[in-house]
Amino acid sequence: MNALRFPDDFVWGAATSAYQVEGATAEDGRGPSVWDTFSATPGKVQNGDTGEPGADQYHRYGEDVELMADLGLGSYRFSISWPRVQPTGAGKPNQKGLDYYRRLVESLLERGIRPATTLFHWDLPQALQDLGGWENRDTAFRFADYAEIVFDALHVRDWLTINEPKTVVDCGYRFGTHAPGVEDDARAFVVCHHLLLAHGLASRVLHERHPGRRIGPALNLHPTYPADDSPEAHEAARWRDGLENRLYLDPIFLGRYPEDTLDWISERGPMRDHIREGDLAAISEPVDLLGVQYYTPIFVDGAGERVFLHPRTQAEWLEVYPEGMYDILVRLTADYPKVPIVITENGLPTLDAPGPDGRVRDEGRISYLRDHLTAVHRAMKAGTAVEGYHVWSLLDNFEWAEGYTQRFGIVYVDYPTQRRIPKDSALWYRDVVKSGELR
């Protein structure tokens, strides 16, 4: 087969998030977040795991930057822990917290690695949760204030606002599997509106204060398909597409919520009453780059239930379907205004551990990444502007409710010693990055 060549300026990267890798949750004045609370609650996380030790990146960022440089990476997507910067979510910044991110950014820039910085990857200051969290409209304004602090403090060009608002809505407030562990559709969609408002308000702050920089959302998109040919399954796939994709894409890009989805939501709670004049204008603040996170498709039957038709992974929600990457990218170009797209996450967990020779033979990850990158390449040929790709994740880390039982890293972390061991996939990725080619 011919090698697939990516453009010379294609950006190859890897991603992590603060609570998943940093550890050091009680250091240098960091305040508690909702994930500290949630993971300390018995029964919420596998094995009672918490963000300690994570991958101890708070202390080992220097080593990790060297590792990224060795792999030839051009971009590192990480997130800022809001409670490190504002321990109670408001007021004067905690200098020690800000200094950590200054040092991280400087080390990356020295090695020619561009930071792509996420403002919020789920670790809301607990003090704001105590005031209602994302159900409280004021949290969106607090978020814009926090964003202003970090925009001004850090030499970062590219920003992502909220990581996967849908996951906060669904896992945090509908299914209760993530912090804060609520199971209530009525409350969930109020949270949805305030998360989107926060996204828009923070984007506006960046545009006003730092023209020339770029900002956008990081959305986990799930292409939805009918599992069979019945009209019911087609109808259900369309309904599910509203909840998975259009509920987030339409307000951000088109300045309106999808009516069919809003009707369904309104039968369950008061989201509509929380949409004030001017909110949609704020939410549809122009997007400079769109972060796309793709892991899995959702096939639904006539009853609207998810059906699995393809191989699954250790993560039971993750059905392997590279075609979905192509479909979602091409659909974005067809249905929404064209903006530069960057893949901000894509990956899978595997159980591979170091063998007697120390190697981690994660063949399954190599084929997953290769197949998804092939789909990205195909979408680019079909006219979708994709600037870059970040594998989830650089390192094995705290996988939320799964604790340390699922390893998404291209680099293995031996948690007791915190030793980093590049898996075979990391060595494979290094070759792809160096050559700019998939072979």
* 164 forms part of the interface with ligand GBH (CB under 6 A): yes
Shortest Å distance, C-beta 166 to ligand GBH: 8
Please confirm, yes or no, whether 285 is among the known catalytic residues: no
CA atoms within 13 A on the CB side of 430: 14
> Rounded to 10 degrees, what is the CA torsion of 26, 36, 344, 135?
-120
- Are 319 and 308 within 8 A, CB to CB? yes
167 is a site residue for ligand GBH (CB under 6 A): yes
For the bound state, the minimum distance from the C-beta of residue 196 to ligand GBH, rounded and expressed in Å, comes to 17
Residue 135 annotated in active site: no
- Pick from 4, 6, 13, 17: which binds ligand GBH (CB under 6 A)? 17
Rule CB under 6 A: choose which of 169, 171, 198, 366 binds ligand GBH.
Answer: 171
Q: How far apart, in Å, do the first and last CA atoms of the chain sit? A: 8
**Judged by CB, which is closer to ligand GBH: 295, or 412?**
295
**Full DSSP string of 142-207:** HHHHHHHHHHHH---SEEEEEE-HHHIIIIIIIS--STT----HHHHHHHHHHHHHHHHHHHHHHH
Which C-beta is closer to ligand GBH: that of 117 or that of 167?
167
Q: Kindly tell me which of 4 and 221 has the beta carbon lying closer to ligand GBH.
A: 221
Q: Which of 310, 317, 363, 434 binds ligand GBH (CB under 6 A)?
A: 317
Q: How far is the CB of 434 from ligand GBH (least distance, A)?
A: 26
Q: Which of 22, 164, 244, 319 is catalytic?
A: 164
- Choose between 129 and 220: whose C-beta lies nearer to ligand GBH: 220
Q: What is the rounded CA–CA span in Å between residue 256 and residue 262?
A: 10
Q: Considering the complex, what minimum distance in angstroms separates the CB of residue 277 from ligand GBH?
A: 32
Closest to ligand GBH by CB, 76 or 408: 408
How deeply is 341 buried, as exposed, middle or buried, from its count of CB atoms within 10 A (0-12, 13-18, 19+)? buried
Q: In the stretch 82-121, what mask flags binding to ligand GBH with x, by CB under 6 A?
A: ----------------------------------------
**Is residue 46 a contact residue for ligand GBH (CB under 6 A)?**
no
Work out the angle between the directed axes of helices 138-153 and 95-110 (0-180°, nearest 10): 50
- Judge whether 20 is annotated as a binding position: yes
Nearest of 139, 153, 32 to residue 92 by alpha carbon: 153
Using the rule CB under 6 A, is 396 a contact of ligand GBH? no
Least distance in Å: CB of 408 to ligand GBH?
6
Our finding on whether 49 is near ligand GBH (CB under 6 A) is no
Contact present, 281 and 255 (Cβ < 8 Å): yes
d(CA 306, CA 83): 36
Residue 389 annotated in ligand binding = no
Strand partners, 389: 12, 343
- What's the one-letter identity of residue 141? F
> Is 247 within 8 Å of 258 (Cβ atoms)?
yes
Give Cα 297 to chain centroid, integer Å: 16
Of positions 61, 146, 295, 299, contacts ligand GBH by CB under 6 A? 295
In sign, the C-alpha dihedral spanning 298, 21, 391, 96 is: positive
Beta bridge pairs of residue 437: 5
Q: Can you name the residues that pair with 341 across neighbouring β-strands?
A: 290, 386
Determine how many CB atoms are found less than 10 A away from the CB of residue 392: 23
Q: At closest approach, how far in Å is the CB of 295 from ligand GBH?
A: 6
Of residues 206 through 235, those in contact with ligand GBH by CB under 6 A are 220
- 400 a known binding residue? yes
The reply to whether 397 sits in an annotated binding site is no
Would you give the distance in Å from CA 240 to the centre of its chain?
Answer: 20
Q: Does 345 bind ligand GBH (CB under 6 A)?
A: yes
The residue among 20 and 284 lying less far from ligand GBH, judged by its C-beta, is 20
CB of 183 to ligand GBH, least distance (A): 11
The answer to the question of residue 163 lying near ligand GBH (CB under 6 A) is: yes
Residue 290 phi, psi (nearest 5): -105, 120
Candidate ranges 5-13, 134-142, 150-158, 167-175; the one touching ligand GBH (CB under 6 A): 167-175
Q: State the binding site.
A: 20, 121, 163, 295, 392, 399-400
Which residue numbers belong to the known binding site for substrate? Answer: 20, 121, 163, 295, 392, 399-400
Mind telling me the catalytic residues? Answer: 164, 345
Q: Which residues bind ligand GBH (CB under 6 A)?
A: 17, 20, 163-164, 167, 171, 175, 177, 220, 295, 317, 345, 392, 399, 408
